Amino acid sequence: MRKYTYIYICLAACFLFTLSGCKLGKQYVRPDLELPGSLSASDTVSTDTLSIADLPWEQLYTDTLLHNLISRTLEYNKDLLMVSARVKELAALKRIDVANFFPEVGLRAYAERERENYGGDHKVNSDQFDLKGAVSWELDLWGKLRWARDESLAEFRASVETRRALQMSLIADVAQAYFELVALDNELDIVRQTVDARRESLHLVRLRFEGGLISEIPYRQAQVELARTTALIPDLERQVTLKENELSLLVGEYPHRMERTVMLEDIRLPETLPVGLPSALLERRPDIREAEQRLISANAAVGVAYTSMFPNIALTATYGAESKVLSDLLKSPHHLLSANLLQPIVGIAKNRARLKAQKAARERAYYAYEKAVLSAFKDAYDAIAAFNKMQEIYDTRLSLERSSRTTLELAELQFVSGTISYMDLLDAQRGYLDAQISLSNAVRDKQITIVHLYKALGGGWVGVSK
């Protein structure tokens, strides 16, 4: 009989292990979004497997001062440090769900000294001494523990993608703020040079007014124009300070003056732009990868809710010693084998409601994933469109700046010779100032266009994960 008992136990164990291999629920399948055939229909865009986003950011941005700022940002930015701490937190929580697959082993040492006296004259000692080892194990019959592991693993991977997406955004934000700061410096230099030119014009007009060659109106107008141009300087200086403070916050430092280079006169964009295939954008953009991991986590949460509606079986075993007398503890062996079957009955409506809620959450995560893909393609299309037109915009503004400068030189000569009025000279001066600032902004926009394009295609996070 003992032999058959062992056989029955082995057969039951094999049956339970086989049953524990089941995993009820719908496995995750990536949604078919019917992606467009290419990222752009322009001839200037190459749609092979190569992409500008495959370049490390160190190769894309050649300014050494900008390199230093980005490196410090990736090291000290507080938002990035918080996200990194969140990754560590979820990595630890993931280990908990993995550990649930294994039996829990514990040791219990218990001592109780109790004296009872019922009726006032029946004193009885009721002591208890225990020394037991315990093992408990929940069988994963329907896949509940595996779904929980998949859910925590997906949340952990999503946090990793969140960190990568933040790294990508920080690199772009620092580069854009840096180029804007350099452009503000250049605009401030233009305005200061214009103020010096206005002072010379005012001196010339004053001499002509005192000599009786012109009326007082041009003289007063020259004063107004000098004051108007001078008033631009404090506002530009304020913008420079605010931009420096913005960069300091991104870097994770207190506000201070930022070292930067001088704006280049021109930046040549490449003749053709490699952007890669549309399917590669799904793998390269960390925000899309994060949204997909959220969807995987939501699908696993549905599996947890579904398998929670089935019975749970937990095995418990204890072995040790139990006695009412401490000296006899080691002489009193004790062992216990038990199996607990828990079938939800009263709470079945609650479990069904939880399942419906998780299915709705999975649907919401699905639409969030679709939106992330659509937003990524919109960013890519916008960046490519800006790239295709930015060189043309720069060329037209450069032509405008050269024409305005020639017009101003002719106007100054004609005003000295008395063939045109001061108002004509003033119009030429205003036009040249606007053209200079417009050209400076075009150079800035060309730099920022590369930044936006690089970010839209998913560049900047590879190789900087910690």
Q: Where residue 322 sits, what CATH number does that domain have?
A: 2.20.200.10
173 shares a domain with 126: no
Q: Where residue 421 sits, what CATH number does that domain have?
A: 1.20.1600.10
Among 177-191, 315-329, 349-363, 420-434, where is mean pLDDT lowest?
A: 315-329
Read off the pLDDT of residues 76-95 as tens digits, 9 standing for 90 and up.
Answer: 999 999 999 999 999 998 88
Residue 2 lies in a domain: no
Residue 198 lies in a domain: yes
- Predicted confidence at residue 322, as pLDDT, reads 72
Residue 240 lies in a domain: yes
- Predicted confidence at residue 8, as pLDDT, reads 46
Amino acid at 451: V
Is the separation of the CB atoms in 49 and 277 below 8 Å?
yes
236 shares a domain with 93: yes
Query: What strand order describes the sheet that includes 128-139?
Result: 104-112, 128-139, 312-323, 333-342
Is the separation of the CB atoms in 338 and 315 below 8 Å?
yes
Number of domains the chain is built from: 2
Q: Using alpha carbons only, how large is the chain's radius of gyration in Å?
A: 37
Residue 85 lies in a domain: yes
Cα–Cα separations (whole angstroms), residue 460 to 42, 119, 417: 24, 83, 58
- DSSP symbol at 121: S
Q: Does the pLDDT value for residue 168 go beyond 90? A: yes
305 shares a domain with 315: no
Is the separation of the CB atoms in 218 and 424 below 8 Å?
no
Where is the domain boundary, 328, 343, 358? 343
Read off the pLDDT of residues 360-417 as tens digits, 9 standing for 90 and up.
Answer: 999 999 999 999 999 999 999 999 999 889 989 999 999 999 999 999 999 999 988 8
Mean pLDDT, the chain, integer: 85
Region label for 25, one of left (φ > 0), alpha (ψ between -120 and 50) or beta (otherwise): left
Where is the domain boundary, 293, 321, 343? 343
Buried b (16+ CB within 10 A) or exposed e, 146-161: bbbbbbbbbbbbbbbb
Short-list 240, 270, 268, CA closest to 255: 240
Q: Report helix, strand or coil for 459.
A: coil
326 shares a domain with 246: no
Read off the pLDDT of residues 274-324 as tens digits, 9 standing for 90 and up.
Answer: 788 888 888 889 999 999 999 999 999 999 999 888 888 888 888 777 766
363 shares a domain with 315: no
287 shares a domain with 169: yes
Is the separation of the CB atoms in 123 and 115 below 8 Å?
yes
Among 198-212, 236-250, 258-272, 364-378, where is mean pLDDT lowest?
A: 258-272
Choice between 465 and 268, residue whose per-residue pLDDT is larger: 268
Residue 295 lies in a domain: yes
157 shares a domain with 266: yes
Residues 6+ apart with CB under 8 A from 77: 170, 250, 251, 252
Helices 144-210 & 216-230, crossing angle to 10 degrees? 150
Among 61-65, 143-147, 329-333, where is mean pLDDT lowest?
A: 329-333
| Four-residue CA torsion sign, 378, 381, 384, 390 | negative
Q: Report helix, strand or coil for 103.
A: coil
Query: What is the number of other CB atoms lying within 10 angstroms of the CB of residue 265?
Result: 10
Q: Does the pLDDT value for residue 167 go beyond 90? A: yes
* Distance in angstroms (rounded) separating the CA atoms of residues 335 and 317: 7
75 shares a domain with 178: yes
122 is written with which tokens? 């029946």
- Predicted confidence at residue 410, as pLDDT, reads 95
Residue 6 lies in a domain: no
108 shares a domain with 86: no
Q: Does the pLDDT value for residue 207 go beyond 60? A: yes
Read off the pLDDT of residues 216-226 as tens digits, 9 standing for 90 and up.
Answer: 898 999 999 99
Short-list 220, 251, 225, CA closest to 72: 251
Q: Does the pLDDT value for residue 108 go beyond 50? A: yes
185 shares a domain with 128: no
Confidence of residue 466 (pLDDT cuts 50, 70, 90): very low
Tokens 């280079």 -> residue: 261
Residue 68 lies in a domain: yes
Residue 172 lies in a domain: yes
- β-partners of residue 116 are 124
Is the separation of the CB atoms in 47 and 277 below 8 Å?
yes
169 shares a domain with 272: yes
Short-list 259, 201, 263, CA closest to 228: 201
Q: Does the pLDDT value for residue 19 go beyond 60? A: no
Range of the domain at 217: 25-101+141-309+346-456
Choice between 15 and 409, residue whose per-residue pLDDT is larger: 409
Read off the pLDDT of residues 145-162 as tens digits, 9 standing for 90 and up.
Answer: 899 999 999 999 999 999
Where is the domain boundary, 285, 319, 343? 343
Q: Does the pLDDT value for residue 242 go beyond 70? A: yes
Tokens 């996200």 -> residue: 83
280 shares a domain with 359: yes
Phi, psi (deg, nearest 5) at residue 114: -135, 135
1 is written with which tokens? 């009989």
Q: How many residues does the chain have?
A: 466
Helices 232-251 & 64-76, crossing angle to 10 degrees? 50
